[in-house]
Amino acid sequence: MPQRSLRIACVAESREKYQARGYTFEQCCELTAEDTMLHVMSALKSLGHTVELVGDIKDLVQRLAITDENDERSPSKWDLVYSDSEGFIGSAREAQIPGLLEAYGIPFTCASAATFAVCLDKGLTKVKLELFGIPTAPFAIIQNDGVGTASEQALRAIKESRHGEKLLDSFPLFAKPVAEGTSKGVLTSSKIHKIEELGKSIDIQFTKYPDQDIILETFLRGREFTVGIIGTGAKARVLGVLEVCWHNLHTIDTSTLEAVTTDRRGINLQPKDMVDFYTYDIKLGHGSHGIQSVPDPKDPEVIKACEIALRSWRLLKCRDLGRIDVRSDKFGPDAEPCIIEVNPLAGLIPGASSLVTIAQNAGLSYQDLIEAVVESAAERITKPAQRI
């Protein structure tokens, strides 16, 4: 714990407030629930810090405009900002509040604006990973330039990518928007089994996300892991790992056309939901059949997954706490884990988020987890005279 009590301002977009403004749940699903922020603030207060809730980017701008340092609402009073801001508009939305705080010289938790901008864009992330030799699925980036059909645009992007037409020899492929989280835009049609399905899948993505590029990559068939990482730079370490077990047994009740799992939870599935990847509906918990388990930490494949996750974390300059999703290219002893996605601002919903579960498995309470974030971020606190 920091040697002194800190004055910490919390910033985040309230999901409930944005929904009250007329936005849909899907538009707001990545935003922080007020109950989650209350848990974070309670943990910070229990650690002895003075805490205040600022709000979203517009609220922050109003506070930053206060130049009278004698005003108790002045941001000059803050030692640290605890940021759980996902942003709301734009392909670099997660970088907006961090960018403002950097401009004012105010230290904050988790990644820099540059890291958030890169990691939100899955295409840019994969380009950097490839450049440094970190395994990730072969891919192409499809721009919705309106020249030709969706199929023609996809084929052109494949030919122009460094992987070229060998992507077409590696079905199934997988399509999703480059800058969404919570599996938004990931549908059952995202998995493309043959070239005849390519145009339809991309057209669905273009229709739903007309202002975004679409990433098309080889579908990774193997085991899937989510790796929790804590710390910054050389001090970063793997906190723990969970495995997402998709390959459970199912039977179809022909009288109801309902799929019934044979796993211990007995969750009922609709046939359309029987997929081996996270769709938006599954991620939100509607008919989820992915079981997270704790894999053997001595398993060579698990060790490889953790190694490339930590390499990616340090390469992309993530900080404090986050999660990296990894999936292997195939099953078996020759499987190669590949980075799916880097999450420098992972969810911390008590009793629900993977990172919270990983922490609990490592013997850390929720308060311990928040304390670790503050301790890591506190190393970046400078003297007031060094700020703008």
Nearest to 86 by CA among 179, 177, 12: 12
CB 178 within 8 A of CB 212: yes
Delimit the domains of the chain by residue range: 7-110+375-386, 138-218, 224-361
Look at residue 254 in the predicted model and tell me its pLDDT: 37
Dihedral angle over CA of 220, 221, 224, 230, nearest 10: -20
User: Are both 138-218 and 224-361 of the same fold?
Assistant: no
Model pTM score: 0.89
Look at residue 286 in the predicted model and tell me its pLDDT: 44
User: Which stretches of the chain drop beneath a pLDDT of 70?
Assistant: 1-3, 247-274, 285-291, 383-388
Look at residue 168 in the predicted model and tell me its pLDDT: 87
SS3 230: strand
Q: What is the Cα–Cα distance from 359 to 366, expressed in whole angstroms?
A: 8
Look at residue 271 in the predicted model and tell me its pLDDT: 47
CB 346 within 8 A of CB 352: no
Architecture per CATH, 138-218: 2-Layer Sandwich (3.30)
CB 66 within 8 A of CB 35: no
Angle at 190 between CA 186 and CA 195, to 5 degrees: 165
Phi-psi region of 66 (alpha: psi -120 to 50; beta: other; left: phi over 0): beta
pLDDT digits (tens, 9 = 90+) for 207-260: 999 999 999 999 999 999 999 999 999 999 999 999 988 754 333 333 443 434
Pick the CATH number of 224-361 from 3.40.50.970, 3.40.50.10420, 3.30.470.20, 3.30.70.1400: 3.30.470.20
The fold adopted by the segment(s) 7-110+375-386 is: Rossmann fold (3.40.50)
Look at residue 328 in the predicted model and tell me its pLDDT: 97
